Amino acid sequence: MECRCFEGLFSESPQELTALQRGIGPGIHAALEGWVCLVTSSAPRKSREVYARLTADALGFYKDKPQMVYDPVQIATAVEGIASPSDGIAPEEVVLLAHIASVLGRSQGSQHVRLSDGRGKWWQLTPASPELVTKWAEALAKRFDKFKTARRRSSMYTAVQQDDLKQQLEAASQQRRLWRRLVALLPCAPRRDFSEAVGGSFVPYRGSREGVGDLVDQDALSQVTDADLMEAQALHWSDSAVTFLQTCKGLPEDLLPDFLYSVRKGVPDGLKRLIWPLAAGQALASKVSDVNADDVYNNLLDRSFGGVHPHEFQDPVPTFCQGVQGVEDAPALSAVVKHLWLLKPQGQHTLRRLLWVSQLTSNHVEFCPFLPNLMATLLSFFTEAETMFIVRELLLEAENAPGGESPKIILNLSQMQKQAKLLVREGKKRGIIPNILAHLESLGLNTEEVATRLLQDGLASKLNFRALCRLVGAFLGEGSEVILRFALALLKQSEEALLACSSSNEVMDFLETMIQRQQGNHEEVNALTKVAYSLPLRNLSMARVSSSWKISYAAPKQAYEKHMFCRPRLYEPRGSVPDEIWEAIWPWVPANCRVFDPHLIYTPVVDGTSLRTCLEKCKKCRDAAMCFFVYSEFGDVLGGFSPVIWARTSGYLDLMTSFRAAEDAFVFRRLQGKTTVDVFTWTGANQMLMQASELHGLIFGGDDAAVHVNKDLTRATSSASRSFSSPPLLEENHGESKVDGVRDSFEICRFEVFALL
């Protein structure tokens, strides 16, 4: 479609310009025209058939198909309003595109197109066929985008204007602050849009509705993005409100209720980096923000990984979902994060790194399957550092919250069970979902267990991504209460289908497949939000909720060893040990040794192939524990942990002289082509832990050495050892012969000794 923004630029009279603007006169190009059914805000129950004509500047509605006018006198009478619409020249109504604030109807399956201005007026067009709906929506949106861009460029605020606006808003805020504090104490206190509370211009935000991060797959995200939803969410934020937020480090207390009220209605992608951090409590993208998220995150990375920050991570990673029935080991990340497919491979590795950082720097996160889903959602719009900063603020607020209050985010099974009990308690009240809960109980279901399964991941597995974004935005400001509200709303909207279920299995299948029946368009997301916040929930405090374990699904397991996620901090030179091997063996290192960091003190490539040099290096760290690694030419890795570092001995080390117990020692292996690491711990069957001499080399384990490195540090053997009840650590298919459990030697590719310092 041609632009035609400058049609009539060189017209000789104001009448001609006005005529061109209204689409009257010769040569006026119509981008699209045809018969439509029109409904307007002035007569919302009355539909009339009109002929619509879209030109470069306006949308005109005619009683009949307009005639082409060439007579200047007729043009003048039409412009001056003398002509009648029945003449077929003048339109009944003209909507200037410069006044339009939004165009809705671009989403798949839309039945009509709706235009809105910034003052509440709207015009709804319903063409004869769905194909025409799409054509009208695209044509109007294309023209609207050009006007929106032009307005944005022509109305940029200068620094002086921004300061003036900030002073005006602060003065108005001072006048109403006391009154609003008093009103906010009332349970029925009215709420209004933040844009209205701020004042200034009511022109909707002119900026781009788009704004995603570098870690998200934009093609995948576009599949779950409804253009009408983005446009509708932008209507709640005026240019003045956005300009005000750009000058805030944090929200003024008197404006916070109105701000959170508007966040509930949604935030377009183009404003999420500005608004979501403010909802969480601290500005990141505002012009006056003094937060350096990169510095904060780099400090956390150093605390987590030391001087070497890993770039890629493999499953399993901490997902904070262990301890419930059916999830007793570390599941794959894709099984926990339902919308993981929206992130690029780099984004998925970033998410794994963030989860490791949370695990290694926070001691309070015990059970929180919502956390990886929250991080994945934030990574769609924020950088890695910004995501960690927002999450860190939430965790600190939850950790420091009084025990009786509802936490900002659920961090353990006890809190999760209390939230499930709250859902059942509130749901049984009149006007919520009493019929649904009664029906579930009649089918033999434990309603608290159903609630726990529903709530545990923050509804991430039950909501379309765009509905989840709406929940996350409100959650950042209001906390876990939002998840409870949306869960009740989701059940209430599904009341008819749930009451039709005739068995418990049918109910659970329905709940597990809820996400497949959602479209994620703006009508659906808005309807869910309205139901969530129309529920009459009064007191959602956990202070009076019983902490007794009535839900077997979430009760502490007996004789269950939770998968321990820990890894050491590494520094250059870090050696050749793969990260996954460190992750596998580090939980076996005793806690009193895990407080130290492994430092590479000897490797032949750097220090020379000399056992004497190796022992001299170890002597300088005589009080340290150690890990050593032997690499075969076939790609195998084997080694051991010892509470005592290598030292010259005459025979086996006298364990009575060691100030650490030998019972913490172990050997391990990861064979070529395998992903698992096998660990064999000290049995106490003998007192033969280790010996080292320039005559016999390095020996680890007795009654046949589990690992024996020769004095030249070039070859090694591994045998079945009673000290660790371990088999030979290498397999026969590596060309070795086996005689009485002893293998021939193999060539060493690399040998590394780490001291825990």
* List of long-range contacts for 467-471, beta carbons under 8 Å, 24+ apart: 467/518, 467/520, 467/524, 467/525, 467/528, 468/339, 468/373, 468/377, 469/266, 469/377, 470/264, 470/266, 470/525, 470/528, 470/529
DSSP secondary structure string, 583-630? Answer: HHHGGGS-HHHHTS-EEEEE-HHHH-S-HHHHHHHHHTTTTS-EEEEE
Phi, psi angle pair for 668, to nearest 5°? -150, 165
Q: Residue 19 pLDDT more than 90?
A: no
Tell me the C-alpha distance between 61 and 33, whole Å.
10
CB of 232 closer than 8 Å to CB of 225: no
The whole-angstrom separation of Cα 469 and Cα 546 is 31
Q: Which residue is associated with the tokens 């290694």?
A: 360
Mean pLDDT, all residues of the chain: 84
DSSP H or E run through 546: none
CA distances from 94 to 23, 42, 241, 575, 757 (A): 9, 14, 29, 74, 79
Give the pLDDT score at 21. Answer: 47
CB 409 within 8 A of CB 483: no
Per-residue b or e along 338-359, where b marks 16 or more CB atoms closer than 10 Å to that residue's CB: bbbebbbeebbbbbbbbbbbbb
pLDDT of residue 350: 96
Radius of gyration of the chain (CA): 34
- What sign does the dihedral 535-541-547-553 (CA atoms) show? positive
The DSSP call for residue 92 is S
Phi, psi angles (nearest 5°) of residue 60: -105, 145
Pairing relationship of beta strands 742-743 and 707-709 according to DSSP bridges: unpaired
3 state DSSP class of 352: helix
At residue 525, the pLDDT reads 94
- Residue range 351-358: mean pLDDT, rounded: 96
* Single-letter amino acid code for the residue at 158: T
The predicted pLDDT at position 291 comes to 85
- Which one has a higher pLDDT value, 466 or 282? 466
CA angle 605/610/616 to nearest 5° reads 105
Question: Cβ of 68: how many Cβ atoms within 10 Å?
Answer: 11
What is the predicted pLDDT for the residue at 197? 83
Query: Whole-angstrom Cα distance, residue 541 to residue 407?
Result: 9
Nearest 10 degrees: Cα torsion 408, 409, 411, 416: 100
Write out the two tokens for 290: 């003094």
Q: Please compute the mean of the pLDDT values over residues 380-407 and round it to a whole number.
A: 87
pLDDT band at 559, cuts 50/70/90? low
Residue 32 in contact with residue 139, Cβ under 8 Å? yes
Give the CA angle between residues 446, 449, 451 to the nearest 5°. 110
Q: CA 732, 733, 734: angle at the middle one, nearest 5?
A: 90
Q: Which of 266, 324, 315 is nearest to 102 (CA)?
A: 266
Q: What is the mean pLDDT of the segment spanning 186-209?
A: 71
Q: Using 50, 70 and 90 to split pLDDT, how confident is the model at 422? A: very high
Q: Could you tell me if 718 and 701 are in contact, meaning their C-beta atoms sit under 8 angstroms apart?
A: no
Q: Which among 468, 564, 593 is positioned nearest to 525, based on CA atoms?
A: 468
In terms of Cα–Cα distance, which of 718, 642, 727, 653 is closest to 687?
653
What is the 3-class SS of 265-330, one letter each residue?
CCCCHHHHHHHHHHHHCCCCCCCCCCCCHHHHHHHHHHHHHECCCCCCCCCCCCCCCCCECCECCC
Does residue 325 register a pLDDT over 80? no
Cα 569 from Cα 129, distance rounded (Å): 64
pLDDT, position 83: 46
- Domains in the chain, ordered, with CATH? 14-154 (2.30.29.30), 293-399 (no CATH), 413-534 (1.10.472.80), 579-756 (no CATH)
Tell me how far apart the alpha carbons of residues 458 and 470 are, in angstroms, rounded to a whole number.
Answer: 12
Helix (H, G, I), strand (E, B) or coil at 651: coil
Q: Is residue 161 over pLDDT 70?
A: no
Bigger pLDDT: 634 vs 325: 634
**pLDDT for residue 318 is more than 60:** yes
Mean pLDDT of 183-202: 65
- Per DSSP bridges, beta strands 742-743 and 746-756 are unpaired
- Give the residue ranges of DSSP H helices in 428-542: 434-442, 447-455, 465-478, 481-493, 495-499, 504-512, 522-534
Distance CA 281, CA 547 (A): 30
Q: Which two tokens stand for residue 421?
A: 């009990």
Residue indicated by tokens 């088999």: 727
pLDDT in tens, 28-86: 678 888 999 999 988 888 999 999 988 878 888 988 888 655 445 444 554 444 445 55
Task: State yes or no: pLDDT of 430 exceeds 80.
Answer: yes
Predicted pLDDT at 519:
85
Which residue type is seen at 80?
A: E
Those residues whose C-beta lies under 8 Å from the C-beta of residue 12, and which sit 6 or more positions away, are none
* CA–CA dist 217, 341 (Å, integer): 8
- State residue 451 phi and psi, 5-degree precision: -65, -40
Q: Buried b vs exposed e over 207-225: b needs ≥16 C-beta within 10 Å? A: bbbebbbebbbeebbeebb
**Token reading at 337:** 């994060």
Report the alpha-carbon distance of residue 555 to residue 55 in Å, rounded: 66
Separation between Cα atoms, residue 114 and residue 137, nearest integer Å: 8
The residue assigned the tokens 């509804």 is 459
208's CB contacts (< 8 A; 6+ apart) are: 270
Please give the structure tokens belonging to residue 644: 């005592």
Separation of alpha carbons 120 and 516, rounded Å: 35
3-state secondary structure of 755: strand
- What percentage of the chain reaches a pLDDT higher than 90? 53
Burial class (CB in 10 A: 0-12, 13-18, 19+), 320: buried
227 in Cβ contact with 466 (< 8 Å): no
Q: Say what the pLDDT of residue 152 is.
A: 56
Strands 715-717 and 690-693, how do they pair?
unpaired
Question: Taking the mean position of all CA atoms in its chain, how far away is CA 272?
Answer: 12
Judged by average pLDDT, the poorest of 4-8, 75-79, 648-652 is 4-8
Structure confidence at residue 175 as a pLDDT band (50, 70, 90): low
* pLDDT value for 299: 95
Average pLDDT over residues 184-203: 66
As given in the structure block, the two tokens for residue 230 are: 């983005």
- The C-alpha atoms of residue 658 and residue 667 are separated, in whole angstroms, by 19
At 17 the pLDDT is 43
User: pLDDT (tens digit, 9 = 90+) per residue, 479-523?
Assistant: 999 999 999 999 999 999 999 999 999 999 999 999 888 888 888
Does 119 have pLDDT greater than 50?
yes
Residue 319 has pLDDT above 90, yes or no: yes
The pLDDT score that the predictor gives to residue 606 is: 94
CA proximity to 235, closest of 107, 115, 412, 414: 115
pLDDT of amino acid 7: 41
The lowest-confidence range among 202-211, 301-310, 365-374 is 202-211
Helix H or strand E encompassing 233: helix 227-234
pLDDT tens column, 292-308: 999 999 999 999 999 99
Query: How far apart are alpha carbons 630 and 234 in whole angstroms?
Result: 60
